Structure 1
């Protein structure tokens, strides 16, 4: 068997500067974009390049970071999960619902204890992840279609539970982790950093992480090497759902309420964070480091646009153009690697 290249990396280029650029284009482009955005917004707004605003950016991307951590696993296997925002919303509403409402499974007819409400939220996102995994690996439904259907199912769960109302109660632990601080640092930023760290360690130093890269890089070769491809795909779908669910529960405390469609914008943001950072849509290349870079690009972009006087509708257009540019670079880099 030929020697394998370390996961997420390319073999040393042998075709000069062109091959070197082709190998690193998806890493160089987002870094240049980030530096350019920082320079532009710093020049246009004196309040942008401050320590306090850096803290604002970290808080603003923390929920997206938790969702994007799980989504990175999925995209590395050349799959997609369009249900992440709906799963986050459903888990957040479930934990608020069972904290606030009278539960049919509670004989005393009172709200469930906080820890049990949290378990209900975790069970909900885990179950939705298992449903995604079953549809993709057992039935054989393409992940795009399966998770698109799950997006609707998650939205239906949210609508059924809240019925247009807003829930405000969450367990004390969720409230602390979602909106509290540990010294000068918000808990939600610390948790997001821990998720990213654990995701990086798993992808870089574990056998499962190597399998994720192998499945995304060459699924047929992975099968010949003895990797249980379906099991890996099922695992990443569940990981994505659980990360989304935890982000949703913490997000309810962060936003101060649980309501329908609260997390809709996080679908685009989380996918953009992974792709803009340089993780390949074709699987097998990238990782959590790229996702962190993408998170900073999006965080700086969104925050910087709020610091300058610009039409709110134009902000949406600019974000869309940035994502389109990242997709073009992603596809172009893949073609360059194939030629190299």
Structure 2
């Protein structure tokens, strides 16, 4: 019996490996990018690879990470939420606005105790998320348009409440979570880690998480399987709103004030974290682990560019190029998946 040709043997050995690499491209590329950036900045700046700077990076991405958890749920369902930063800003302002402080900053002149202000802020984020959910699932407005409208509504709420003023007071325990530390680790990093872990557990080990992936992967098949797709879509919009609200409250405490347009940069940052990390914009692929990697890529990139003192305008360009590369990989990975599915 003759042995197979050498080139056929090589193909048999490398075929499955290459297929696996193509299938994992969306996961491998962000991790490789993170590793390359970490090595590059460690060599370029001795002050980069220190524990203090690592804690600084984690603190810088904490608010983005909290917001990105909810956005991950939405994108996994092949939807988008453009209102996350606006909801975070509105919730933070509601919290500071109704916390006991100078009555001139409170239009109702009824300052609330800390717990009541937090409850009111969370309810406000839920209410705004419910409007998004209603528009998407009941009226049938595409999520891009619905959340774009909510972005403006949230901005309007912020403007109406603050009226050009700045509120400084937040409940003491929220201030501690936003600015305090447990040993060398900031509390805001701990809270972000807990929320990221909770999001991962829900997506990986619960029925709801499985339904999120099914709805994003094949909505028609999910409906035929008996899944209430509209209910899942409404739920992820509410999850996104609550995560934005939590991020907004902690962000206001961390910044030390609540004012209009304070969270404008967080929309692009949170979307970038999810997409750069490898979660598919087409739904059904990715998860919180990908979002964590994306957060670290953005955090290391921003922090590292500051350490090498690169031009601030060039820094914006580099971030845009990184996001574009992630989008290209995202689309390319989806095409490979579609092609392999058709071939198989």
Quickly name the TM-score band, shorter chain normalised.
over 0.9
**1:140-155 mapped onto 2 (5 Å cutoff):** 140-155=140-155
Q: Any runs of at least 4 consecutive aligned residues in structure 1 with deviations exceeding 2 A, and if so which?
A: 14-18, 100-105
Tell me the TM-score normalized by structure 1.
0.93
Separation of aligned partners in 1, 2:217 and 2:302:
32
Kept after mapping to 2: 8 A contact 1:19/1:337: no
**1:170-319 mapped onto 2 (5 Å cutoff):** 170-319=170-319
**1:155-170 mapped onto 2 (5 Å cutoff):** 155-170=155-170
Tell me the TM-score normalized by structure 2.
0.92
Asked which structure has the greater CA Rg, the reply is 2
Cross-structure match for 1:9 = none
SS at 1:167 equivalent: coil
Unaligned runs of 5+ in 2: 1-13
Cross-structure match for 1:29 = 29
Separation of aligned partners in 2, 1:136 and 1:120:
24
SS at 2:24 equivalent: helix
Kept after mapping to 2: 8 A contact 1:137/1:230: yes
The one-character-per-residue Cα deviations of 1:11-56 (angstroms, maximum 9, x if unpaired) are xxx9533321221000010011001101111111110011110000
The one-character-per-residue Cα deviations of 1:69-122 (angstroms, maximum 9, x if unpaired) are 1110000000000000000000000000011364676xxx54111111111111
Task: After superposing the two structures, state which structure 1 stretch, 84-93 or 306-315, moved more.
Answer: 306-315
Kept after mapping to 2: 8 A contact 1:101/1:110: no
Separation of aligned partners in 2, 1:22 and 1:165:
53
Cross-structure match for 1:6 = none
Unaligned runs of 5+ in 1: 1-13
Separation of aligned partners in 1, 2:226 and 2:317:
46
Separation of aligned partners in 2, 1:233 and 1:75:
10
- Give the superposition deviation at 1:330: 0.2
Cross-structure match for 1:127 = 127
Separation of aligned partners in 1, 2:258 and 2:50:
32
Separation of aligned partners in 1, 2:17 and 2:115:
56
- Give the superposition deviation at 1:165: 1.4
- Give the superposition deviation at 1:309: 2.1
Separation of aligned partners in 2, 1:77 and 1:339:
21
Separation of aligned partners in 1, 2:257 and 2:306:
23
Separation of aligned partners in 1, 2:254 and 2:67:
15
Kept after mapping to 1: 8 A contact 2:128/2:241: yes
**1:81-160 mapped onto 2 (5 Å cutoff):** 81-99=81-99, 100=101, 102=103, 109-160=109-160
Kept after mapping to 1: 8 A contact 2:34/2:296: yes
SS at 2:286 equivalent: coil
The one-character-per-residue Cα deviations of 1:255-303 (angstroms, maximum 9, x if unpaired) are 1111111011010010010110010000001000000010100000010
The one-character-per-residue Cα deviations of 1:163-183 (angstroms, maximum 9, x if unpaired) are 111111111111011111122
Separation of aligned partners in 1, 2:102 and 2:197:
36
Kept after mapping to 1: 8 A contact 2:135/2:146: yes
Task: After superposing the two structures, state which structure 1 stretch, 94-103 or 305-314, moved more.
Answer: 94-103
Separation of aligned partners in 1, 2:173 and 2:308:
37
Separation of aligned partners in 1, 2:112 and 2:191:
25
RMSD of Structure 2 on Structure 1 (CA): 1.3
Separation of aligned partners in 2, 1:47 and 1:283:
39
